[in-house]
Amino acid sequence: MKLSKQLEKLGTETAFAVSAAAGEWAAKGNKVYPFHLGDINIPTPGNIVEAMQKAIGDGHTGYCPGGGIPELRAAMAHDVGSKRQLSYEAENVSIQPGGKPVIGKFLSAVMNPGDEVLYPNPGYPIYESQIEFQRGIAIPYGYIETEAGFDLDMDALSSAINEKTRVLIYNNFQNPNGAQSSRQEMEQLAELALKHDLWVLSDEAYFEIQYSGKPDSIANIPGMQERTVILYTCSKRFAMTGWRLGAAIGPRPVIDIINKLNTNIESCTTHFIQRAMVEALEDTEGPDIILKTLRERRDAAVAALNAIDGVSVAAPNSTFYLFPNVNNIMERKGLTDVDQLMHQALVEANVSFCTRKHFGRPTANEKNDYIRFAYSGIEVEDIQEGMASLKRYFES
């Protein structure tokens, strides 16, 4: 029996293969230090768990509207809008089972076959997968490494735009490199979107994972709200990765289409989880504890990485990822493929991490090798132990 040819275009999150390798190594009796997956081992705040149990007890176990329950849509419109100094109505919000579904549904709503879509690479791998699966042309843009982290390669990005470019995918607070745009960088991006009449997907999955200062959104730049869909998720902010709750927030015509897609695909997002979230959205205590824990882990991971001879990394102000350049280590080890480094680190140091190759197809002319550490699923003591083990391996 033949399967759809279009499936050849569907990518995946290859980080899950790293989990499998780490799991196999652990099953052989080894203690693995897991820095590979951006999952969170901090419990979901108790008030959300209680509200969810109450919602089930109250009988909210049936179907609900495809776009989400009106109370949650209104609460999210207020929450997302007020944090971005923007005004949204409930009708601007489509509730989703997580942030991830927003990517494919947004593209289905705005992209036609053959349209070019700019997307960050290295970046969240589902962008490339969904663009190509839905018959768009994926046009990567990259970042330039600086002392303080990473800046968008604005020259490359602007010169990639042509009359076929329809969409820009932008991930401020970036996975995997932790990049955070200055207001000026965001304005340059907005200027390009306005000049070339582009739709923008602003992936703001890490908007609330900020260690200092207030986050900013491209939707808040004049002229941008009406062409931007925000990807929102409860996964990171409330340590709810497995609950699956997120939203698309944007202009009414796109949100109406996304609601229709919801009805076609999953009917609705889990009803009692939506009920639980209505009150939890206002909670700051739970997210504050999560953030404090993540900050301690970030500081421990940054200090330990910088103690390795040949590695230097700046502390990102947002996300829970570190993306160090490992050119020196590759040279010391005589390696040419960063995946070899990943395999050896697991066996020699019991440390698992992803590499740049897990975040979109590497583009021609890339000269640097990077690996990615997620510190959201590993406690400070294990961060220190794991990094000490990695130091011994990297320095030998």
Ligand X SMILES: Cc1ncc(COP(=O)(O)O)c(C=O)c1O
Nearer to ligand X, 136 or 311 (CB): 136
DSSP secondary-structure letter at 135?
T
Crossing angle, helix 46-57 and helix 271-280, to 10 degrees? 130
By beta-carbon proximity to ligand X, the closer residue of 329 and 377 is 377
Nearer to ligand X, 168 or 349 (CB): 168
Looking at beta carbons only, is 165 or 376 nearer to ligand X? 376
Per-residue burial over 323-354, b if 16 or more Cβ lie within 10 Å, else e, is bbbbebbbeebeeeebbebbeebbeebbbbbb
Least distance to ligand X, CB of residue 244, Å: 7
Please state whether beta strands 371-374 and 354-355 pair in parallel, antiparallel, or not at all (unpaired).
antiparallel
Whether residue 371 contacts residue 354, with contact meaning beta carbons closer than 8 Å, is answered with yes
- Nearest-Å Rg of the Cα atoms of the chain is 21
Residue 325: beta bridge partners? 370
Give the residue with the Cβ less far from ligand X, 168 or 329: 168
The residue type found at 152 is L
Q: Alpha-carbon torsion 110, 167, 316, 339, what sign?
A: positive
The nearest distance, CB 263 to ligand X, in angstroms, is: 20
Q: How far is the CB of 107 from ligand X (least distance, A)?
A: 14
For ligand X, give the closer residue by CB, 38 or 324.
38
Residue 205 Cβ vs ligand X, minimum distance, rounded to whole Å? 4
Tell me if residue 275 falls in helix, strand or coil. Answer: helix
Q: State in angstroms the smallest separation of the CB of 68 from ligand X.
A: 15
Shortest gap between Cβ of 392 and ligand X (angstroms)? 30
- CB 396 to ligand X: min, Å: 33
Nearer to ligand X, 221 or 354 (CB): 354
With tokens 């997968």, the residue in question is 129
Neighbouring CB atoms inside 10 A of 386's CB total 26
Least gap, CB of 123 to ligand X (angstroms): 7
Q: Which is nearer to ligand X, 122 or 349 (CB)?
A: 122
Query: Which residue ranges make up the site for ligand X (CB under 6 A)?
Result: 38, 98-100, 124, 171, 175, 203, 205, 231, 233, 235, 241, 246
d(CA 101, CA 56): 25
The token pair at 318 is 């947002």
Nearer to ligand X, 189 or 308 (CB): 189
Q: What are phi and psi of 327, to 5 degrees?
A: -55, -45
First to last CA, the chain: 52
Shortest approach of ligand X to residue 266 CB, angstroms?
13
Kindly state the smallest distance separating residue 345's Cβ from ligand X, in Å: 22
Other beta carbons within 10 angstroms of residue 63's beta carbon come to 8
Choose between 241 and 270: whose C-beta lies nearer to ligand X: 241
